[in-house]
Structure 1
Amino acid sequence: MTTHQLPPVCILGLGLIGGSLMRDLHTRGERVYGFTLHGARAARRDGFDVSDSVEEVLRRAESDNALVVVAVPMRAVADVLDQVAKFAPSCWITDVVSVKQPVFELIVERGMQARYVGGHPMAGTEFSGWTASQEGLFASAAWAVTYDYARTNPTDASWAELFTTVCRMASVVGAEAVPVSVGRHDEAVARVSHLPHVIAEALALVGDRGGTLAQSLSAGSFRGATRVASTSPELVRNMCETNAESLVPVLDEYIELIQAARDSLASTPPSMKSLSESGHRAHLRMAARKGARRESVSPVEISSRPVMRVHPGAPGWVQQLDQIESLGGRVEVF
């Protein structure tokens, strides 16, 4: 008899992230089915339980008490949530959208916050669609899991169970759950996810203006720095425009650094000392945090991907999440 770690999972949207989640859950023996308008036939040919009728899958999810995963672009989230409200009014909801504040606002507008936990796996490629999905995409990736609702409702046992389920789903597919508030999430991803897209697009333009000679001489540093410029422009717009409130101040920081470097290089003698040394130190700090040992269970081991075990719903559990968030740590639930 198969033992499932999760309730049935219904994924709405089977692009790179939703499709990869379906593949991983299926491989691990979990009950998973989904909806997509584009690629449903291909997904069924690949052996997956996929429909092109959102009403059909949501009615099924309601009867199964399934966890509904919203995996559509931000522009489609409001319509999808309306469908969930209509056809799966008691189902738990999570999402994998790259911004969290705008999604949470839509959730609150619909009075769904008691059955919603936001999510965002920090994984992906520059490709999109079902055909881009793959097993193992989330291995060792951070999976942001939001907990704003718990700050005012720490004793809501049903919500605590939902939070546990979302963290467990991340673990099942090999990711590491990171508790975050929606506002801090959006500011952080503006820095490390959305700003790189802006930079890559601009750098690709500058390189292209050098003509065929620049293209011929371009090497690994240019290809690496511009890799994400191959992402669909629609996806880039969706990410950056929906997080503009957080992205613009971060872009201002970047422009200030670039302007200072420009002025320093234009001086006599030209110098890159300040930016090269401070940037190198920052890179070493981030690399050390990214590569720190995961075995740590102490929240004070800031070397630094601390893992803290939390019992959702227990006294003081939200304060534990606050502490983990402040350290950028991982959470394990029990």
Structure 2
Amino acid sequence: MCQPELVSAIDSAPPVCVLGLGLIGGSLLRAAVRSGRRAWGYNRSSESADAARADGFDADTDLVSVLQRANESGAIIVIAVPMPAVDATLEAIAAHAPDNPITDVVSVKGEVKAAVERAGLSAKFVGGHPMAGTSASGWAVGDADLFVDAVWVVATDNGVDADVWSQVADLALDCGSVVVPAESLEHDRAVARISHLPHLLAETLAITGAAGGELALGLAAGSFRDGTRVAGSAPGLVRAMCEGNRDALLVALDEAL
């Protein structure tokens, strides 16, 4: 049985509104609900929203309705869409829930921060990035355990609201993660080396291996499989991630070469 103070903490935690129900957003919705929070999500694709509802989760394809609900309840809004969709998502937030606390789970922090500034939403925004994922994508591959014991970066840029920062950190902790504070550009320089560069190298290795023909691929074993795992990621997502962090990634790539 939960201790009274734990029940009280869960009850007082703000609801969670997840925008984007792919691997990360879908896993976050699952994890937030499992932690005892009230949570719902939005996805542009009716297929994913329908699948989420079929699994017993609260999901919708009506972004305005979802954001109005967030505005009325004071929910923390989590942006979990690909980088190319961030600007449009922020425009909708500015129109329908401008005073809500906002975070994101996009793998690039500098570009998201700049987009938030353009939308005039910096006062209540704190960036975030859970260092977890797989090469698969979509609602169906989400997992409430995805963030357990994973590092979750919570941005410490100048001027961040301390209360919003605490709310984002609490959400990460509720999902089972280990919170690591970092400034946005510092984060981007780091992940260029340990996340984005590996995607380029994995794709290069996959192409090089395939060029060796059937014999090369037939002889491939563990080292090739491990080295090319993330080459199976959705190309559009990888491109958006790498281009969004191009400056730091080019430095890392030059050093690798």
TM-score, normalised to structure 2, is 0.94
Mapped to 2, the partners of 1:214 and 1:26 lie a distance apart of: 46
**Structure 1 counterpart of 2:30, from 5, 20, 23:** 23
1:143 aligns with 2:145: no
**Structure 2 counterpart of 1:9, from 16, 38, 49:** 16
Rg comparison, structure with higher value: 1
Aligned-pair distance for 1:149? 3.0
Aligned-pair distance for 1:233? 0.8
Q: Which runs of 4+ in 1 moved over 4 A?
A: none
For residue 214 of structure 1, what is the amino acid of its counterpart?
A
For residue 163 of structure 2, what is the amino acid of its counterpart?
E
Aligned-pair distance for 1:224? 0.1
1:242 aligns with 2:244: yes
- Number of equivalences: 248
- Residues 179-230 of structure 1 show CA distances to partners (whole Å, capped at 9, x for unaligned) of 1111111010000000000000000011001111111111100100000001
Q: Percent of pairs identical after alignment?
A: 48
Mapped to 1, the partners of 2:163 and 2:104 lie a distance apart of: 16
**1:114 touches 1:149 (CA, 8 Å); kept in 2?**
no
**2:101 touches 2:125 (CA, 8 Å); kept in 1?**
yes
For residue 112 of structure 2, what is the amino acid of its counterpart?
V
1:106 aligns with 2:115: yes
For residue 36 of structure 1, what is the amino acid of its counterpart?
N
Match of 2:203 in 1: 201
Match of 1:218 in 2: 220
For residue 32 of structure 1, what is the amino acid of its counterpart?
A
Unaligned runs of 5+ in 1: 154-158, 256-334
**1:170 touches 1:176 (CA, 8 Å); kept in 2?**
yes
Higher relative contact order (CA 8 A, sep 6+): 2
For residue 110 of structure 1, what is the amino acid of its counterpart?
A
1:85 aligns with 2:94: yes
TM-score, normalised to structure 1, is 0.73
For residue 18 of structure 2, what is the amino acid of its counterpart?
I
Unaligned runs of 5+ in 2: none
1:34 aligns with 2:34: no
Match of 2:180 in 1: 178
For residue 215 of structure 1, what is the amino acid of its counterpart?
L
**Structure 1 counterpart of 2:70, from 61, 64, 71:** 61
**2:105 touches 2:128 (CA, 8 Å); kept in 1?**
yes
- Residues 96-118 of structure 1 show CA distances to partners (whole Å, capped at 9, x for unaligned) of 00000001011112221110000
For residue 173 of structure 1, what is the amino acid of its counterpart?
C
Match of 1:49 in 2: 58
Aligned-pair distance for 1:165? 0.8
**Structure 2 counterpart of 1:162, from 161, 164, 171:** 164
Match of 1:265 in 2: none
